Amino acid sequence: MNRVCPNHAAPVQGDEAERWKALQAVSTPHTPFCRLDYVRAVASGAGLHLGIHIVSENGQDMAGAAVTWKRRGPWREAIVPPFTPFSAVTLRDALNPADIHSRTTPLESLLAELEAGYDRIHVHLDPEYTDIRPAQWRGWTTRPLYTYRLNTGDGPETWSKGAARTFRSGKDAYDLLEGNGVGSTAALLAAASYARQGRKTPLDKAALEALVRTVENTGLASSFAVRRRDSGDIQAGIVVLHANRKGYYWVVGSVPGPAMTVLLGKMLPRLHASGIEEFDLMGANTPTIAEFKRRFGARLTSYYRIGFCRKPMLQWLCTLREMRR
């Protein structure tokens, strides 16, 4: 297979960007996280470099990855950017089992390309990618992760009794707000939620607000919030990313209490009416968060984190750093 591998220190070139857009338009998965304008925005907000990798066969582009990376000392490390559940990895066609067994799939060629370009790599594959043997057979580490997904047409009658009761008792106390101006409020609520939990925000407040505004301006996002009728306080906000009839619970925050449950109950019918059929609650990998999301009648869905490191010293340093957290 032929391939395109960028100069890692250089910005993305015009021909690379056009090839990526053309490949992404005819490939799976069709998610906002594979859109180049999204990857550029999140890379810029997080201070990361961007590299585009495309493998082709007989003149046709077959697979690609838009990788965000940073320098760690003398090494290049490809990472999953903040607020991004699934990496920008796209395949023109579904993997053929015979090609998997003969190790001639475009995915295998793409993994080889990434191994040559980076010293340490982590990628989150979209749930559509269920056969990860090409990565396993190349010596990549693989680890299952989980998210919850629900149908937007399902109402509170499919929720747990507690969540449905919270929505019914609180819905008349709030008004639903929507529109691009609401996104900045959602970003501030998200930052406040991190601070309240004693956690560091993946992006600082100003960078997160700027990222939300940029993505809203691309048309990939819709923002919602709920405001108390008695006090006028906005108590919960969600920026929803959407593409191909799917929505994603992207940047979210709320004050303690019923506001987020009420917001979901008021927002989901709006999403359904706009043509969004499925909503991904984005992550069910810690007990408290997983339990909150389960209560909305969602189904558990698995996806994979895959990784590769070709520098033993770098792997040792990263392991030591993680142990000290």
Query: Which pLDDT does position 180 carry in this prediction?
Result: 75
Does residue 298 sit within a domain?
no
What is the residue range of 42's domain?
2-146+303-323
Is 209:184 a contact under the CB 8 Å cutoff? Answer: yes
Does residue 196 sit within a domain?
yes
Whether 133 and 170 map to the same domain: the answer is no
Does residue 25 sit within a domain?
yes
Whether 120 and 169 map to the same domain: the answer is no
Whether 122 and 239 map to the same domain: the answer is no
Query: Which pLDDT does position 239 carry in this prediction?
Result: 98
Residue range 146-183, pLDDT digits in tens:
999 999 999 999 999 999 999 999 999 999 999 978 99
Does residue 251 sit within a domain?
yes
**C-alpha 154: how far from chain center:** 23
Cα dihedral sign, 96-50-148-27: negative
Does residue 184 sit within a domain?
yes
Does residue 282 sit within a domain?
no
Whether 180 and 71 map to the same domain: the answer is no
Is 157:202 a contact under the CB 8 Å cutoff? Answer: no
Q: Which residues of the chain have pLDDT under 70?
A: 1-14, 311-325
Cα–Cα distance between 215 and 209 in angstroms, integer? 10
**DSSP assigned state of 230:** T
Is 68:78 a contact under the CB 8 Å cutoff? Answer: yes
Give the Å distances, CA to CA, from 304 to 90, 222, 262, 283, 317: 15, 27, 31, 12, 24
Whether 76 and 118 map to the same domain: the answer is yes
For the domain that residue 186 is a member of, what is the CATH number? 3.40.630.30
Strands 278-280, 246-254: parallel, antiparallel or unpaired by DSSP? parallel
Whether 136 and 8 map to the same domain: the answer is yes
